[in-house]
Each structure stands twice: as C-alpha cells, then as structure tokens.
Amino acid sequence: MELKNVEFKAYAKDLGVLEERLSVLNPILEGVFRQVDTYYNVPIGRVKLREYDDFSSLIYYNRTDGIDAKGSDVIYYKHEKDAALGAILELQFGIKVRVSKVRKVLKYKNVSVHLDTVEGLGTFVEVEACNIGVEQGVDLKKQCDEFFELLKLKEEDLVAVSYSDLILMK
C-alpha cells in the first residue's frame, strides 16, 4: 500500500495529559501495541521491519529530517510473521539499529496519534495525518498544526529525527 502522510514527533512529559486533551475529539482507541522496529542499512530512504505479537510490517519511507510537520512517501506491506524475512534483510543489508516501544494508537478521522514509550529514550507523541480515506485536497500539514495546538505542545518539544536516529546518537 502506498500512501502520503504528514507527521510530527515531540517529546512528551506526561502522556496522560495529552490523552486527556485529545478526549474532546472522542478518538477511537485502535490499541496498545508492543513494537520492535529493525532498521536496515539501505542506500535510499529507510527500510524497517516492524514486528508485533501476531504480524509484521515491512515499511519503506523517505522524508527529510526537521522539526516542522514533514511529508513522507511510504510503502507499507503487512504480512504474517516469519523470521526468514528478517534473516534475509539482515544478510543483504545489515542491521542499522533496533527500536523497542509500547505504542498507544488513537485515531480521529484520518489522523493517528501515537503515545509512545520508547526503550532507552522516554515518552513521545507522534501525530500522522494520512491521505487514505479523505477527500482530495485535504491539507495534511494543517491538520498536524491543529493537533499541535490542541495538545498544547511547544516548538522546543519537537523532535527533528526518527527514534532510530535518536538511539544512534546516544
């Protein structure tokens, strides 16, 4: 599945406070997931194997780093878990880094809010506005900006890079 999304990530001191601020929208709880993302050394963009308890997703994305809400081109492939895929990717590309997290996913229309506790890094919020299921011409960046305001975040809370980069910087 190919999609377009615009997203931002920010440090979060208290995920409960953020969830309370979101409650005015009555978002749908999609679930709480334990995820392990394995990033591979690839020449263009990023490739990660995201493993859940029952299934996995192979995800390619390419975006520029920066604190502003940024667009990504994403190709997403959901499949049954199979250790062979990870083994092939590791043999071909080598593992760059692994990121383990617990993610609570709240959904409002085409926007997903991720309340993340990332092993070794702390707590974060990610907001992703996606073009799937919305009218053509919807301003995804504007949607992210509205959630930024609703959550009462500050510019200094924004994170310019991915969790994988934060772990590699440590």
pLDDT digits (tens, 9 = 90+) for 84-120: 999 999 999 999 999 999 999 999 999 999 999 999 9
pLDDT digits (tens, 9 = 90+) for 57-84: 999 988 777 666 666 778 889 999 989 9
CB 130 within 8 A of CB 73: no
Closest CA to 164 of 77, 78, 76, 36: 36
Question: What's the pTM?
Answer: 0.88
Rounded CA separation 58/152 (Å): 33
Cβ–Cβ contacts within 10 Å for residue 115, how many?
Answer: 20
Percent of residues, the chain, with pLDDT higher than 70: 95
What domains sit in the chain, N to C, each tagged with a CATH number?
Answer: 2-169 (2.40.320.10)
